[in-house]
């Protein structure tokens, strides 16, 4: 039996290494290389098991394996550079043989070292587990952060049939979990080893199917950008204007900010009409910050300020209270937004008029969807010259609110210095003053996420009158204070900023965490809030990742509620969730009922075998009671071995269950027709003694788990 178990373990380890190396080599080489990697790893497993029984020291074996591998690689390189080899083989055959032999040598050496270390030092089994994790991780790493169309080799065939690649990736994760468990299982009995692996596979598959049925798909988690976009999420049904002050929306001054990580997708915007912004940049406003708290701009606590953004997600159509009136400077535009990451409130192109909830086109991919109408700026900024600042109906308190700023005379002095270059007759023009501040900051400021101003009492002053190195929050605050010092009502807004070129001619626009942004705005009469963004001429940070046009197109299709690449004819269910629905539509719930009935039958038979001795005749009790106790032992994995007699089994268990010999004797006496009458009381005492001994040697949780297994009685002997 020991030999059979060892042989099975070698086979399972060969299976694990063969699959893992094939997965690892598949994206890196051609088919001959994958085949060579598989053969090499399997050979390495066999060699390692052979060497583990030798008397050679582990370090000596590892060193020998490395030396032999180096020699073989050198020989391989020299061999395939020989003229007679290159002349005898055509280029394709030569390349295939080169790849196959190289991968065979390398994978055989790596497998030999890993397996030998694991067999000799049990703690080093973690190296095998790490290898399996690394192999499967590198296969699907391109799928991170919402890039559902990658890796292309896996995703394209599924997307062509209207499926979701996440199902395959979750399946690969389940396979990796089973393979890792195989490396950890150590069992001396073949039957128990097979049973444990079967149970493990059942658990993994159950979890996998449950995740599919429950709609648990990986969603991209956008990092907190520090711009108040995520906030503390509130129940949309309970969000009111009065609850705005409860939101954790704030602009953060951070030192050495680094970056927001990989640009994870956060939303897809579908344009219902073509629109080209005058400045070539789209601004999606979500939050506003106009109240000065003594250190920075925060969300206003007044109920008559900044009512032109949504208070929260609403289950019904809702108009924005202070939306700009239709005018000659703006045009109406509708968009649909499908959110892939949670947000504290909806956003829209400036300036929003209304928000309407929409059906989620793909719940597996999007958190929610809504439609928005905006009155977007449709004229060049030169046409805004001469417009008055502020609204005529603002009260003195509202005017004062939009002019609050630090009590530092340097802001006013710098502001006057900046606008001093304007012609005297145009010096008071609000738009010209805003343009001057914008141009000065763009020329003098330096953009970098790695700044050092947050510890200062006034981070903006430390930035503006110091090294002038900062990011959007610093520039937005600096522009706001400078413009307020000139008497212009200004605020800071946050949301997403993305160039028009990112649309690439399509109607869908993908927003990522890298597009999170803060910018200043001034209010012009008859126009509304106008973006005055700063684009520093100098940038110390490396350029960000280019937008993924293919991912944008794919998510745009999903946001429209259509398949990415629909195939002709019936869509083949490629995800397990769709496959389950497809089978349910055709076969109803019959499969589930069959499984439920089978499970019920197993439990009924088990209960019958437990209860029947209480109702049986005296002559049948020795057999039925003995069978019941064997069932209890089987629940704990204690069974007769192949070819072992009942008497030999009872003797083998004598140390743990001494009373089992008496129970076995009573059973054999009744079975072979002993003339001695059966004493029911003595028989019950023997059974009780066996049970007490079993309880003493097996903890309660093991007995409970054994009882819950419905088919345990099938394995009792």
Select from 669, 573, 655 the least CA-distant residue to 622: 669
- This prediction has a pTM of 0.61
Residue 104 in this model has a pLDDT that exceeds 80 = yes
If you average pLDDT over every residue of the chain, what do you get? 79
Strand arrangement, sheet containing 318-319: 318-319, 352-358, 368-377, 330-339, 265-271, 508-512
Burial 355-377 (b: 16+ CB within 10 A, else e): bbbeebbbebbbebbbbbbbbbb
pLDDT one-digit tens code per residue, 564-603:
444 344 444 444 455 555 555 555 555 566 677 777 887 8
| 43 contacts 69 by C-beta, under 8 angstroms | no
Q: Which two tokens stand for residue 540?
A: 């110390």
Q: What is the pLDDT of residue 265?
A: 85
User: DSSP letter at 392?
Assistant: T
Select from 488, 502, 500 the least CA-distant residue to 530: 488
pLDDT one-digit tens code per residue, 211-237:
544 444 445 555 556 676 765 433 333
Establish whether the linkage from the previous residue to 151 is cis, with ω within 30° of 0. Answer: yes
| 212 contacts 174 by C-beta, under 8 angstroms | no
Q: What percent of the chain has pLDDT over 90?
A: 26
pLDDT one-digit tens code per residue, 375-419:
999 999 889 999 999 999 999 999 999 999 999 999 999 999 999
Strand partners, 318: 355
Select from 41, 18, 17, 23 the least CA-distant residue to 136: 23
Q: What is the pLDDT of residue 4?
A: 42
Q: Which two tokens stand for residue 100?
A: 């196959």
Q: How far apart are CA 331 and CA 348, in angstroms?
A: 14
pLDDT one-digit tens code per residue, 648-659:
888 888 888 888
pLDDT one-digit tens code per residue, 29-74:
888 888 888 888 888 888 888 888 777 787 887 888 888 888 888 8
Band of pLDDT at residue 79, cut at 50, 70 and 90 = confident
pLDDT one-digit tens code per residue, 247-289:
446 788 888 775 545 677 889 999 999 899 998 999 999 999 9
> Helices 91-120 and 2-25, interaxial angle, to 10°?
130
Q: What is the pLDDT of residue 661?
A: 85
Q: What is the pLDDT of residue 330?
A: 93
Q: How far apart are CA 20 and CA 180, in angstroms?
A: 10
β-strands 446-447, 265-271: how paired? unpaired
Residue 89 in this model has a pLDDT that exceeds 60 = yes
Q: Of residues 196 and 217, which shows the higher confidence score?
A: 196
| Average confidence (pLDDT) over 442-470 | 92
| Average confidence (pLDDT) over 598-610 | 81
Cα-based angle 169, 171, 175 (whole degrees, multiple of 5): 115
User: DSSP letter at 213?
Assistant: H
Maximum pairwise Cα distance, the chain: 130
Please give the helix or strand (H or E) that residue 668 lies within, else none: helix 660-671
Secondary structure of residue 481 in the 3-state scheme: helix
| 432 contacts 425 by C-beta, under 8 angstroms | no
């Amino acid at each position: 039996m020991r030999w059979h178990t060892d042989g099975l373990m070698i086979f399972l380890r060969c299976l694990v290494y063969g699959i893992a190396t094939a997965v690892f080599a598949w994206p890196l080489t051609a088919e001959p290389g994958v085949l060579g990697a598989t053969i090499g790893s399997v050979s390495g497993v066999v060699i390692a098991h052979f060497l583990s029984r030798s008397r050679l020291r582990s370090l000596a074996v590892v060193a020998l394996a490395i030396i032999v591998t180096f020699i073989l690689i050198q020989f391989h390189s020299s061999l395939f550079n020989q003229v007679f080899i290159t002349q005898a083989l055509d280029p394709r055959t030569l390349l295939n043989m080169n790849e196959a032999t190289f991968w065979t040598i390398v994978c055989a050496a790596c497998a030999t070292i890993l397996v030998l270390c694991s067999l000799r030092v049990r703690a080093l089994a973690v190296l095998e587990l790490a290898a399996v994790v690394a192999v499967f991780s590198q296969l699907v790493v391109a799928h991170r952060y919402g890039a559902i169309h990658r890796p292309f080799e896996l995703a394209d065939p599924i997307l062509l049939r209207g499926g979701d690649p996440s199902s395959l990736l979750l399946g690969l994760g389940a396979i990796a979990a089973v393979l890792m468990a195989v490396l950890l299982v150590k069992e001396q009995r073949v039957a128990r080893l097979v049973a444990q692996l079967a149970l493990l596979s059942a658990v993994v598959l159950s979890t996998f199917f449950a995740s599919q049925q429950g709609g648990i798909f990986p969603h991209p988690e956008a990092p907190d950008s520090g711009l108040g976009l995520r906030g503390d999420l509130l129940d949309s049904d309970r969000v009111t204007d009065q609850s705005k002050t409860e939101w954790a929306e704030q602009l953060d001054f951070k030192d050495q900010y680094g970056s927001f990580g990989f640009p994870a997708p956060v939303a897809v915007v579908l344009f219902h009409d073509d629109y080209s912004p005058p400045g070539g940049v789209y601004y999606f406003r979500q939050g506003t910050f106009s109240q000065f708290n003594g250190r920075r701009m925060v969300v206003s606590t007044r109920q008559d300020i900044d009512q032109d953004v949504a208070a929260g997600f609403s289950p019904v159509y809702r108009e924005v209270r202070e939306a700009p009136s239709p005018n000659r400077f703006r045009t109406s535009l509708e968009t649909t937004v499908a959110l892939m990451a949670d947000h504290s409130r909806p956003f829209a192109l400036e300036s929003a008029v209304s928000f309407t909830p929409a059906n989620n086109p793909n719940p597996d991919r999007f958190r929610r969807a809504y439609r928005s109408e905006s009155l977007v700026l449709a004229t060049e900024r030169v046409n805004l010259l001469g417009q008055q600042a502020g609204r005529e109906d603002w009260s003195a308190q509202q005017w004062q609110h939009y002019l609050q700023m630090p009590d530092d005379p340097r802001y006013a002095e710098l502001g006057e210095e900046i606008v001093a270059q304007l012609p005297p007759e145009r010096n008071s023009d609000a738009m010209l003053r805003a343009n001057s501040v914008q141009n000065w900051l763009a020329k003098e400021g330096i953009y970098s996420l790695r700044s050092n101003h947050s510890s200062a009492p006034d981070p903006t002053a430390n930035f503006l009158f110091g090294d002038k190195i900062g990011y959007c929050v610093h520039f937005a605050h600096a522009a706001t204070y400078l413009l307020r010092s000139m008497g212009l009502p200004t605020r800071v807004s946050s949301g997403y900023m993305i160039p028009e070129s990112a649309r690439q001619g399509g109607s869908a626009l993908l927003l990522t965490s890298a597009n999170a942004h803060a910018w200043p705005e001034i209010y012009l009469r008859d126009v509304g809030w106008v973006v005055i963004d700063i684009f520093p001429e100098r940038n110390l940070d490396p350029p960000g990742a280019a937008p993924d046009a293919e991912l944008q197109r794919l998510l745009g299709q999903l946001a429209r509620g259509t398949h990415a690449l629909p195939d002709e004819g019936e869509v083949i269910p490629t995800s397990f969730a769709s496959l389950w629905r497809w089978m349910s539509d055709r076969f109803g719930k019959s499969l589930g009922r069959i499984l439920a009935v089978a499970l019920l039958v197993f439990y009924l038979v088990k209960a019958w075998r437990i209860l029947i001795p209480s109702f049986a005749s005296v002559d049948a009790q020795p057999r039925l009671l003995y069978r019941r106790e064997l069932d209890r032992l089987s629940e704990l994995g204690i069974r007769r071995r192949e070819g072992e007699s009942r008497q030999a089994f009872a003797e083998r268990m004598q140390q743990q269950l001494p009373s089992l010999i008496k129970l076995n004797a009573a059973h054999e006496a009744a079975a072979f027709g002993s003339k001695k009458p059966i004493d029911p009381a003595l028989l019950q005492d023997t059974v009780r003694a066996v049970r007490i001994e079993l309880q003493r040697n097996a903890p309660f949780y093991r007995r409970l788990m054994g009882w819950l297994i419905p088919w345990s009685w099938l394995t009792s002997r």
